[in-house]
Structure 1
Amino acid sequence: MLKTLDPQTQAFRDDVIKGLSSPTPAIPARWLYDHRGSELFDDITRLPTYYPTRTETAIFHDIMPEVAARVPKGAVVVEFGAGSATKTPILLEAIAPAAYVPVDISGDYLEKSAADLQQRFPSIDVIPVTADFARPFTLPGGIDHLPKLGFFPGSTIGNFVPWSATDLLRQFRALLGPGSQLLIGMDRAKPVDRLLAAYDDPEGVTAAFNLNLLERINRELDGDIPVDAFRHQARWNDILSRIEMHLVATRDVEFGIAGHSFSFAAGKSIHTENSHKYGPRGGRVLLLAGGWTPHAEWTDGDGDFAEVLAVAEPERFAP
């Protein structure tokens, strides 16, 4: 008798079965972020080799007065992904929004993050929404009439291939509405050795983060994957300008998941995440294709990372 699954677990199972059955096995990166995965990613952001978080945080400290001057009073901040303990408070303190709506697929992690922020900012109405922000969802009631600022830090947009990144940005526009703003982080292309070090740290935290996906499959989908038969690998794909994370089989292996059988020969991999790196023009074109017009852009002194404030301009016919 098949076990009845909640919608999120059903979606997880469908993505895993479909992904592992494809000629090039892959699982969408969003499933890396269960509670344990989210904790491990927080640990990654504090590693010496992982530059994006500390670089973006430093940019935030510099630009927040200007951001605050551009965001209307009484706005709602909608963050796509659970609030970072370091970056989100900088934004909330600077603009003092009427409400903060964090959206994340990991409900238990989201609730804890939201509770911590509500305690820190008692005057802001914190309204967490458990949802996959890569798929259509609705905002809570009572905020329709308020101006909105979408917040998408951490270069998460780089996890999406360009066509799906464009679709995601269009979805954000449809959700937030014309006239809304979006503050988004984008990682810049840089020397390959720095990129590989950021995604394959010597401490092994990124490896644990990647392998946790297999442990999650075993736990939630009745899998029997021998986790020790896979190893983490980060690769640079120069043609597509992206870091790829893979789980590579170290030996021939067979396993089952939710009644489906799979076999992997040694050396075959499961593609688990992309992190696309954009140049200045490429990032702006991506935003424009998604319906957002860049109005301001800031970088660190070395040009490693960019923060862009874009506006959902009213649609008009081109001349």
Structure 2
Amino acid sequence: MKDEVLVARGLRKAYGARTAVHEVDLALRPGEVLGLLGPNGAGKSTTVGMICGLTVPDAGTVTLGGGVSLASDEAGYKRRIGLVPQDIALYEELPARMNVELFGALYGMAPDRLRRRADEVLAMVGLSDRARDKPSTFSGGMKRRLNIACALIHDPEVILLDEPTAGVDPQSRNAIFDNLEALKAAGKALIYTTHYMEEAERLADRITVIDHGRVVAQGTQAELFALLPAAQVLHVEIAGEPDDALLAGLPGVKRVGQRLEASVGDVGRDAGPLLAALAERGIAVRGLSSARATLEDVFLHLTGRALRD
């Protein structure tokens, strides 16, 4: 497995006639965040479920460093994995500290280590002063942070986070980001699913995009941006609304009201010829601006713009 702490090969899961995940491969290294992106129903949560052992794959394998798998050593495998599920998984009427200690006890942690570790993870997620309070009194963001503390209590090597910032306020989201960046700096390996592209841009070292249960692209952000037809967009404010026939000979240019959008590879190289072509057609330019492509542009390019319900 070289330096990988986790390798998944050929993961497949079907529910009746519907194949939710088909031949998914993933690899994860220590100190790395792998962003797992995809539209609703693409197979992200099913993939996470198979990796953590909650869902039994129909085919494929997941192996941790040293060759440990669910088949060879289920208890040892699960002790090295931490899961932050998509849905809040807490005992609402137990104090926060008891929630954390309960999860640690399920991993067979010794009492002294469990107490020390509970102090550490509650401090990490900023809940030390609320340790005696019940989650039923917590905000959504506090519950999310307590969920993370429960996933970290046994000090796992690999942490799976399935949309951990869903429904939280900006302050809690930034606190969660700080926690994850600290875990990455400590050498932990993280798999992070999200629908927020800006989160993936901030956190992920590499990204895997899944659609209809299949991997459609994976690599660094730079490698994914290279898949776009153009890396930048020119926004040209024009006077009036020119006949579309005048724009027909301008590849990559589309009209949006009184603005033109042009996909270009290099603004410095391509802006001049475009402006000259517009002048030749008698189209008056009022303003010009540019923007680089975003991860959302890549995502929509790979998965389409159709609604997923």
- Bin the TM-score by the shorter chain: under 0.3
User: What TM-score, normalized to structure 1?
Assistant: 0.23
User: What TM-score, normalized to structure 2?
Assistant: 0.23
